[in-house]
Structure 1
Amino acid sequence: MAEPTEHPTLEVCLSPALLHLYDLSQKIVVVIDVLRATSTICTALYHGAQKVIPVDSVEKCMEIGRQLGAVTAGERDGHIAPGLEHGNSPLEYPASFIRDKILVLTTTNGTRLLHMAKDAEEIIIGSFLNLTLVCEYLISRKRPVMLACAGWKDRINLEDTLLAGAIIHRIKTHFDIQCDAALIAEKLYEGTHKHLMHHMQQASHYKRLIRHGFEKDIAYCLTIDGAAVLPVYRDGAIELA
């Protein structure tokens, strides 16, 4: 009788403030910032952007944008950052605008987390928009996984936890999960997934974006497989796998 195959581990980090507690060196890290950085990255690449360069400051965004003749974009606290051309709304990046262009992006939470995860074996971008491809990739790679949630200024948020739960719900039989944060995320998703938008209305980030007029962004960012690409972060840029 064949010996059972040992499954790789899967863990969840619900806040960047906790990331230092984990060794990422042999893990695939899935960076999650549903509202809105990872959704915007997936959308831009799905619509034909050459690549996305995530940076941690507005000044660096502007500098690289000038050097490359790229689109500069980003937000701070939900608003377009002063000095940049565009914001962090995925709806700003249709194919008619972004195809064949380079997007330099800085955001409050997501781009910071990408740089924090630099020691990982691989870094991929996760959103509801590419949920199925992310799950299929993680299963196929058979490597330890960390689902890293960007949260909001180091605080746990609902939407990123929900996406982590959605991923776990689909792939858990392929992984060894001994992580309470993963358990919390999956249970949360199981209790809310039939009415995601309804439950999101209780979230702090939902209320924050609604105040700025971004209700359409929220509905779009919760669309499963709406931008089915697999972005990978390598050598300072995000491109399609």
Structure 2
Amino acid sequence: MEKRTLHTVLSPRLLDLYSLSDGVVVVIDVFRATSTIATALSNGARAVYPVAGVEQCKQLGQKLGAITAGERNGQVIEGLLHGNSPAEYPRSFIAGKDLVLTTTNGTKLLKMALDQGAAEVITGSFVNLGSVCQYLVSSNKNVILACSGWKDRFNLEDTMFAGAVVAQIERHFHMNCDSSLMAKQQYQLHEADMKTFIRQTSHWHRLKAFGLEKDLEFCVTPGGAEVLPLYNPQNGTLNAVALG
């Protein structure tokens, strides 16, 4: 049987160059949307509603009686109850509740993938690396690792996560993709000193100004929230999927 393909998309601006109709798109926004989504779901959130706009977030939250949360440029949006920090969603707070979330980069990319006809969309970060890899191997679809970046620009933390995925699953795929090769080699070069290396990134410095260092360290720690968030197009939610 012919092997499936695996590609890494380094910026949302490049997404339309790839066919998504027969693939699983992994939306990656390590700092912090996809880390927060995994954390909320692993701590018992009933569902996460990712939305692109602030007003939509407010309106849907009011309609559902849900927690509304989001950020723009790293800061909590005025009029929303909570931010985009994994630390804000412990089990004692989020279990059994719905979360409506809007962010600068991650939720926008998820909508783009859906608009371009992605067969399936999941979200990934270091905190649920194992679950993402397990799902991609067991799926019978091609894989697109889609990095959210920062306002359409390349960033290192999303690319490093893509590289971590590639390093674990590439033997199951046909990989003729320079961005995947680069991501894997960059990850392997810094895997042992990730928390030190990541401090050099532009996004670290941007968010450090808001006192978020502990957040960011958690976001690059593998296994902190092992759950598989899968998008359900019927009701517009990300839900935790049980893996066999």
- Fold shared, TM-score > 0.5 on shorter chain: yes
Q: CA deviation at 1:136?
A: 1.1
1:6 is displaced (CA, Å) by 1.8
Aligned counterpart for 2:223 among listed residues 222, 225, 229 = 225
Q: Which amino acid aligns with 1:198?
A: T
Report matched runs for 1:82-231 at 5 Å: 82-118=78-114, 119-231=117-229
1:135: how far off?
0.6
Q: CA deviation at 1:234?
A: 1.4
**Which whole-Å deviations, capped at 9, do the CAs of 1:53-80 have from their partners, x for residues lacking one?**
0111111100001101000000000000
1:57 equivalent in alignment to 2:53: yes
Question: Does the aligned pair in 2 maintain the 1:47–1:93 contact within 8 Å?
Answer: yes
Render the CA deviation track for 1:63-119: whole Å, top value 9, x for unaligned. 001101000000000000111010000000001111111000000000001100111
The answer for unaligned runs of 5 or more in structure 2 is none
**CA RMSD of the aligned region, Å?**
0.7
Aligned residue pair count? 237
Percent same amino acid at aligned positions?
54
Q: Is the 8 Å Cα contact of residues 12 and 147 (structure 1) preserved in structure 2?
A: yes
Runs of 4+ in 1 over 4 A off after TM superposition: none
Which structure 2 residues correspond to residues 17-96 of structure 1 after superposition, within 5 A?
17-96=13-92
Q: Which amino acid aligns with 1:18?
A: L
Give SS of 2:37's match: helix
Alpha-carbon shift at residue 240 of structure 1 (Å):
1.1
Query: TM-score, normalised to structure 2's length?
Result: 0.96
TM-score by length of 1: 0.97
Tell me the distance in 2 between the aligned counterparts of 1:199 and 1:20: 31
Q: Are the equivalent residues in 2 in contact too, given 1:62–1:72 (CA < 8 A)?
A: yes
Unaligned runs of 5+ in 1: none
